[in-house]
Amino acid sequence: MCSSLWLGTLLQSRWRNKKCHWPSLIAAWLRSSPDCLGEGLSLLPTPHTFTPSSFLRPGQLSNVDLNEDISELETELPRPYPNEIPHNEKLLSLKYESLDYDNSENQLFLEEERRINHAAFRTVEIKRWVICAMIGILTGLVACFIDIVVENLAGLKYRVVKDNIDKFTEKGGLSFSLLLWATLNAGVVMVGSVIVAFIEPVAAGSGIPQIKCYLNGVKIPHVVRLKTLVIKVCGVILSVVGGLAVGKEGPMIHSGAVIAAGISQGRSTSLKRDFKIFEYFRRDTEKRDFVSAGAAAGVSAAFGAPVGGVLFSLEEGASFWNQFLTWRIFFASMISTFTLNSVLSVYHGNAWDLSSPGLINFGRFDSEKMGYTIQEIPIFIFMGVVGGILGALFNALNYWLTMFRIRYIHRPCLQVIEAMLVAAVTAAVGFVMIYCSRDCQPIQGSSVAYPLQLFCADGEYNSMATAFFNTPEKSVVNLFHDPPGSYNPMTLGMFTLMYFFLACWTYGLTVSAGVFIPSLLIGAAWGRLFGISLSYLTKGSIWADPGKYALMGAAAQLGGIVRMTLSLTVIMMEATGNVTYGFPIMLVLMTAKIVGDYFVEGLYDMHIQLQSVPFLHWEAPVTSHSLTAREVMSTPVTCLRRIERVGTVVDILSDTSSNHNGFPVVESNPNTTQVGLGLSAYPMLLLKDFRDAYPRFPPIQSIHVSQDERECMIDLSEFMNPSPYTVPQEASLPRVFKLFRALGLRHLVVVNNHNEVVGMVTRKDLARYRLGKEGLEELSLAQT
Amino acid sequence: MCSSLWLGTLLQSRWRNKKCHWPSLIAAWLRSSPDCLGEGLSLLPTPHTFTPSSFLRPGQLSNVDLNEDISELETELPRPYPNEIPHNEKLLSLKYESLDYDNSENQLFLEEERRINHAAFRTVEIKRWVICAMIGILTGLVACFIDIVVENLAGLKYRVVKDNIDKFTEKGGLSFSLLLWATLNAGVVMVGSVIVAFIEPVAAGSGIPQIKCYLNGVKIPHVVRLKTLVIKVCGVILSVVGGLAVGKEGPMIHSGAVIAAGISQGRSTSLKRDFKIFEYFRRDTEKRDFVSAGAAAGVSAAFGAPVGGVLFSLEEGASFWNQFLTWRIFFASMISTFTLNSVLSVYHGNAWDLSSPGLINFGRFDSEKMGYTIQEIPIFIFMGVVGGILGALFNALNYWLTMFRIRYIHRPCLQVIEAMLVAAVTAAVGFVMIYCSRDCQPIQGSSVAYPLQLFCADGEYNSMATAFFNTPEKSVVNLFHDPPGSYNPMTLGMFTLMYFFLACWTYGLTVSAGVFIPSLLIGAAWGRLFGISLSYLTKGSIWADPGKYALMGAAAQLGGIVRMTLSLTVIMMEATGNVTYGFPIMLVLMTAKIVGDYFVEGLYDMHIQLQSVPFLHWEAPVTSHSLTAREVMSTPVTCLRRIERVGTVVDILSDTSSNHNGFPVVESNPNTTQVGLGLSAYPMLLLKDFRDAYPRFPPIQSIHVSQDERECMIDLSEFMNPSPYTVPQEASLPRVFKLFRALGLRHLVVVNNHNEVVGMVTRKDLARYRLGKEGLEELSLAQT
């Protein structure tokens, strides 16, 4: 316990007397110090007298080269995914750092803010809007690029395979076709997997769990780098072209986020270019706001759902609802879908008709043609139950698979081989199913892009082949809108079954790919099957349009897997373009979520937990009122004195066994029993120097401090936040949680009745408590 | 300054020793005590020794009858609107109390929460969903009721007038028709105005400013009472039937909010019925959540815009975004629009087609028929500028009018007379314009409900008459969808001009009525006029469909008047049922807001400011970093000791000159220099007793305290919150504001470096600072 203190937050700083220049030291705050030094403070010698002559000179940057250190650091940073997933879901990893959504009000920050007048704030505001517009445009363009490239490459592949099949159908030897198809797929997927596994593993998967974590306030290394974006875009193109059971929509969210993070900082560290613009935004608070906008723009481009995008960002990221921020996010979303719409309309030759608001469009569900009646609502709810159960099954299977992967497939080359295997198997399964299928449909009047005749009569095509020869997006729309009778129930059943397992196997591979579209496709298939059965049972009543049930099935399956609620309803509503469908979709999603939650968590949450990320949910567990801050906090905590010896500070900061990066700064002057806290979330000794380095500060170990410098005294009062948030130790966990979550804090100081620092609450202390099946449970902490 | 303290929050309480029963006294916390007693503490005698024998006995309810007191109180409460609007907008009124969104964690609260186990929390959660469903259903039914009654009564009135006009057109003497029309209107409006002016003045207007205030955390007396709902519903029916330039949509938001407040509390004080259910929800936090849901359900029913409703509630009310809450709000909205849709579909005879999602439906804007092209976007932006200017003009005129009303028309009978005058003038203007108009249109193929032939040839009808003979909702839809050529430019111009001034005069009358529809109508009229001119100028190009411009004009005008952003865009998007129109609508609304804000505030904000409500915006003024908590706080603050004499407490509480209801509870024990704060937002000495009385607690003055009782000692430590939020006095205003706003606080204690209470920050202290044209300005405080 640190007695009689003076609290402040140490974030951005400079010298009191300008006599002792010390940026390199404070830079070290980043790498942090021991959490539990115990009575470390008492080991320190009594404060030296204040001797200005022993201070460093300003402007003397010691022997630290920022750029060099950064590049060094970059390669040293741990690769978080998927190599190092711990083997136990009841763990919280200590390796993740937090973002700080609270501005540290130290003297430098306040001086800067006070210098800015009203007009300058308006300029900043205008810049924010410009950035959002740019985010929207670029995200839209990236989506267009992906769409066009995928369409052309996939078309090319299908034409080659189709010609080959057509050739060999007549003269026998279709196994050559199978071989060709499997090889083509495996080859393409290999390239996609290699770039992900060897260059940027964080680009694997849909990126939604990673973005959820980032918006929640957890720093995931590399997640918003330009390199990640490039790998992601190439990876997703190759995965889709490779015929895997994946979609290109999920990755758009990640792409939008990276674009936003890049633009808002006005530079790219990967390209080593600094445009010297938008420097005001180089802090966690601002960056996170823009990343929200980017994620929203991504959703908007993927589904043509600008409102859904905004709600997605808010649902995943917002801690404090801000009208202006939301409005900017909406602006970015709108621009994004508009850009995509314009470019794709021009590309498809019918300029200005603006008929492609998203990468996937569900087509119009007109109330007149495909309305639903109130009696159908119980049926929809039943479909929600089915979706919930199937979704839980999907997640459970994927959980086991992921555990298997963690244990046995953690080397990149193995991962690539697995991806190739899946691609080949997908092709083989597709081929066998097409081969075995005897479901022929008349070619006339259908809108199939690559009709495959195979063994069908002339003028007919193999219906199973459409499902595998289209991109999954097209298949979904076909299932929604093809007239009744287009599909054989047997075909649909087999397809559902196969695709379910393929999609489940595919999610978690080391490729960039989303799970939205496969889920929709599985759901649409069994939904349509359900509709056909219903129509059969009711002797073809007019209201049993199978397309409607395909939609509900798609919603149920997707809801059962990802368990998103509000945003998913709005996304589905916007994608169908029909407000009256909102009500049944909401009911279906709600049912699927409730049923699914009964068995197992949502897919994204599951993967977040498997990575042991200290993720903060919306509220503290309901039964946690019996816990107080005293029981929750980390203790003892290392305190610094307001006037401290440089050597002491270096020693504390260099100790790498720390769990957090904040240090209370205390003062024990009997006359002024000041209370305060010094934190060093990120150190900005010289404001400009360190804003340039944001967010990759050099570590303390890279800085040489001479013995003379170690004997210098430093006054920390200008570096720290003099008014940090504190809670009394009697406060209950929900109260602490609310304060922490609502303000997006990184550190929260716990004080006792004497106003002495007794502990510190950080993200992991709060994320540790979880509501399990048997009530409150506590996760253990691990350094993995 | 209160030295060496012990802080806690005094909200719900009971006796320490069960020896002294004291509910009546603590009840008195409600009526609060002097803010600035200065060194009041030092005037108190030294604490008595703790003598249990002198404590009151438990169960002894003194001589206080809660019900009696409540009814007494009700009539004594000031009527806030519109009688007492202060004459200066640079004032903040002290008469408004705040809601407290922060649970006071005193011992009783914690004990209750800890008693509740996991299963019980699930029951509470289910109850919340049930309540939201009920809110949705009831709001939908109320909307149906209003719609059906208005349709029938208005139809009846128009038939009578039309028959009369038809009769007198031939034989002359149309002045009788005018008289009949004016008298009918004035009579109906008189009834509507009388019930509002004499029974429940808070039901006047659209209710949106009041709900905005409520959701912001300001208690507006009577605003969520059942009586208000009844008057509101009857009033709005009568206003619309009386032919005023008003809509029935805005009041739906208020109605939904009242329904929500009523249902969630499980009782009605107006009806003196307590159903003894939902008692858990009888606190500000929960009630406000439900009121948000009710407001959203109201929007949803009014415009068929469930997502827009959710966003409206969030935009106006949310301080802390909570996923579960939002999801419940969305559920209520969906149920509301679905109920309305089902009932109206049945009523209109085409059951199950679900074609009436809202009170107003803009009709379908198909991309194929009425698409827009990218070249039109600058034109739309120009329309936004026009809308902004016209909106600002509307608001400025209405501001002067409101000031005039405040000065000269504050007696209810004058208000009724003014309303009647406006009704008569509206009828007369309509009549004259119909009379003078020579704009005849063929009756065939048009969808006019009451075609008035007047002086037109047989088979034709007077086009101006449609505008006045339809409900404004119908007129708006006609302007959107009538084929080109249906309107004469002159007619439209005259109509716009007249309706603009009539609507402006009408808003602020003592009748229940909304400004949404009149704004839309004005905008649609000039928008269509604009479209016609454009079509004329471009020689009838295919893309110049006037309906499209009517829509944009409507958006521009509404945006220019109310200045809502995100929610309005989504409402308009959902009402048009076309996602691609979202982008231009957003641009138009944004332009209108920017241009309008340059001149004058939005209409709702203007009226809120005219009532001097301490309204908290989203962020502290950007240039306020130079202010600290020390400069902002109220000081000196009255402190209580932890063990205090009953008489002292009574005296402090009885002093009515107070500005706030919270009192730090301090303890000066040299051994345990505990810091804490005792607040009494609302007093719940005996939890159940006082939860029953929520939110109308009896005043301290109504409680008899004997001299013996006054000498009792009371230990306040169980009544207070032992872990209140505090800020150091050095914290900047934005920091204090963020904490206060994000957590929805009512009181925030300011402490110095010695951890002594130096002041208290309440809502008015923060609302006082505003960004004016010349930078930061400070409003003065007044008791009015």
Per-residue pLDDT of B97-141, as tens digits, reads: 777 777 777 776 777 777 777 777 888 888 899 999 999 999 999
Q: Is B3 exposed, middle or buried (0-12, 13-18, 19+ CB in 10 A)?
A: middle
B395 and B328 housed in the same domain = no
B554 and B636 housed in the same domain = no
Per-residue pLDDT of A268-306, as tens digits, reads: 766 777 767 777 777 777 888 899 999 999 999 998 888
Please tell me the predicted confidence (pLDDT) of residue A77.
38
Does residue B131 form part of some domain? yes
Helix (H) / strand (E) element for A778: namely: strand A775-778
Cα gap B177→B159, rounded to integer Å: 12
Do B320 and A320 make contact, defined as CB atoms within 8 angstroms? yes
Quickly count: other Cβ atoms within 10 Å of residue A585's Cβ.
27
Does residue B40 form part of some domain? no
Which of the pair, B330 or B667, is modelled with greater confidence? B330
A583 and A656 housed in the same domain = no
Task: Report the chain B residue with the minimal C-alpha distance to residue A304.
Answer: B579
pLDDT reading at B5 higher than 70: no
On chain B, the residues whose CB falls within 8 A of the CB of A110 are: 625, 732
The percent of residues in chain A predicted with pLDDT above 70, rounded, is 77
Total domains, chain A: 3
CB hemisphere CA count around A331 (13 angstroms): 22
B462 and B508 housed in the same domain = yes
CB pairs under 8 A between A and B: 216
- Mean pLDDT comparison of A32-46, A577-591, A668-682, highest-scoring range: A577-591
Whose CA is closest to B280, among B136, B130, B128?
B128
Per-residue pLDDT of A530-571, as tens digits, reads: 988 888 887 766 566 788 899 999 999 999 999 888 889 889
Please tell me the predicted confidence (pLDDT) of residue B520.
93
User: Of B321, B625, B743, which has the smallest distance from its Cβ to A739's Cβ?
Assistant: B743
Tell me the pLDDT band of A418, cut-offs 50, 70 and 90: very high
Per-residue pLDDT of A563-607, as tens digits, reads: 888 889 889 888 887 777 888 898 999 999 999 999 998 999 888
User: Of A580, A675, A726, which has the smallest distance from its Cβ to B753's Cβ?
Assistant: A675
Torsion of the alpha carbons at B471, B476, B477 and B482, rounded to the nearest 10:
110
User: Of B623, B726, B754, which has the smallest distance from its Cβ to A121's Cβ?
Assistant: B623
Task: Name residue, tokens 């905005």.
Answer: B212
The whole domain housing A303 covers: 123-348
Per-residue pLDDT of B427-456, as tens digits, reads: 898 888 888 877 777 777 666 667 777 777
Residue A468 tokens read as 């595998």
User: Of B310, B566, B754, which has the smallest distance from its Cβ to A330's Cβ?
Assistant: B566
Do B342 and A374 make contact, defined as CB atoms within 8 angstroms? yes
B384 and B478 housed in the same domain = yes
Per-residue pLDDT of A112-122, as tens digits, reads: 777 777 777 88
Do B625 and A353 make contact, defined as CB atoms within 8 angstroms? no
Which of the 8 DSSP states describes residue A449? S
Do A754 and B338 make contact, defined as CB atoms within 8 angstroms? no
Which of A583, A745, A761 would you mutate first to test chain B, the one with the most B CBs within 10 A? A583
- ipTM summary value: 0.82
Does residue A174 form part of some domain? yes
Q: Is B185 exposed, middle or buried (0-12, 13-18, 19+ CB in 10 A)?
A: buried
Distance to chain A for B728, nearest Cα, Å: 6
DSSP 3-state of A249: coil
- Pick the range with the lowest mean pLDDT from A498-507, A588-597, A619-628: A619-628
Do B672 and A6 make contact, defined as CB atoms within 8 angstroms? no
Does residue B547 form part of some domain? yes
Length of chain B counted residue by residue: 784
Does residue B15 form part of some domain? no
Do B623 and A118 make contact, defined as CB atoms within 8 angstroms? yes
The domain boundary, picked from A611, A645, A676, lies at A611
B164 and B308 housed in the same domain = yes
Per-residue pLDDT of B488-516, as tens digits, reads: 888 888 889 999 999 999 998 999 988 99
- CATH number of residue A701's parent domain: 3.10.580.10
B698 and B599 housed in the same domain = no
Distance to chain B for A618, nearest Cα, Å: 6
Whose CA is closest to B426, among B518, B352, B549, B348?
B518
Which of the 8 DSSP states describes residue A196? I
Do B367 and A355 make contact, defined as CB atoms within 8 angstroms? yes
User: Of B323, B331, B735, which has the smallest distance from its Cβ to A315's Cβ?
Assistant: B323
On chain A, the residues whose CB falls within 8 A of the CB of B725 are: 739
A655: left (phi over 0), alpha (psi -120 to 50) or beta: beta
Distance to chain B for A434, nearest Cα, Å: 38
Average pLDDT score, chain B: 76
pLDDT reading at A712 higher than 80: no
Task: Report the chain B residue with the minimal C-alpha distance to residue A721.
Answer: B731
Per the CB < 8 A criterion, the answer to whether A287 and A320 are in contact is no
Cα gap A310→B308, rounded to integer Å: 12
Per-residue pLDDT of A642-667, as tens digits, reads: 777 777 777 776 665 555 567 777 76
Cα gap A329→B160, rounded to integer Å: 52
A725 and A767 housed in the same domain = yes
Quickly count: other Cβ atoms within 10 Å of residue A393's Cβ.
17
A643 and A773 housed in the same domain = yes
B383 and B484 housed in the same domain = yes
Distance to chain A for B689, nearest Cα, Å: 23
On chain A, the residues whose CB falls within 8 A of the CB of B299 are: none
B401 and B449 housed in the same domain = yes
CA B435 to chain centre: 40
- Pick the range with the lowest mean pLDDT from A604-613, A682-691, B600-609: A682-691
Task: Report the chain A residue with the minimal C-alpha distance to residue B7.
Answer: A753
Q: Is A19 exposed, middle or buried (0-12, 13-18, 19+ CB in 10 A)?
A: middle
Task: Name residue, tokens 């932890």.
Answer: B642
Residue B109 tokens read as 């609260």
Task: Report the chain A residue with the minimal C-alpha distance to residue B628.
Answer: A723
User: Of B352, B672, B723, which has the smallest distance from its Cβ to A374's Cβ?
Assistant: B352
What is the SS3 assignment for B665-700?
Answer: EECCCCCCCCCCCCECCCCECCHHHHHHHCCCCCCH
A231 and A293 housed in the same domain = yes
pTM to 2 decimal places: 0.84
Do A326 and B566 make contact, defined as CB atoms within 8 angstroms? yes
- CATH number of residue B411's parent domain: 1.10.3080.10
Whose CA is closest to B35, among B647, B753, B679?
B679
Does residue A639 form part of some domain? yes
Do A755 and B373 make contact, defined as CB atoms within 8 angstroms? no
Which of A753, A756, A769, A776 would you mutate first to test chain B, the one with the most B CBs within 10 A? A753
The domain boundary, picked from B566, B581, B611, lies at B611
On chain A, the residues whose CB falls within 8 A of the CB of B376 are: none
Which of B4, B130, B280, B307 would you mutate first to test chain A, the one with the most A CBs within 10 A? B307
On chain A, the residues whose CB falls within 8 A of the CB of B590 are: 331
On chain A, the residues whose CB falls within 8 A of the CB of B341 are: 580
Does residue B685 form part of some domain? yes
Whose CA is closest to B8, among B784, B764, B750, B721?
B721
On chain A, the residues whose CB falls within 8 A of the CB of B307 are: 307, 311, 570, 573, 582
Helix (H) / strand (E) element for A174: namely: helix A174-194
Cα gap B178→B429, rounded to integer Å: 10
Task: Report the chain A residue with the minimal C-alpha distance to residue B115.
Answer: A623
On chain A, the residues whose CB falls within 8 A of the CB of B340 are: none
Does residue A89 form part of some domain? no
Distance to chain B for A299, nearest Cα, Å: 14
Which whole number is the average pLDDT over A505-515? 90
Do A578 and B583 make contact, defined as CB atoms within 8 angstroms? no
Task: Report the chain B residue with the minimal C-alpha distance to residue A666.
Answer: B753
Do B580 and A322 make contact, defined as CB atoms within 8 angstroms? no
User: Of A307, A355, A675, which has the smallest distance from its Cβ to B755's Cβ?
Assistant: A675
Task: Report the chain A residue with the minimal C-alpha distance to residue B370.
Answer: A353
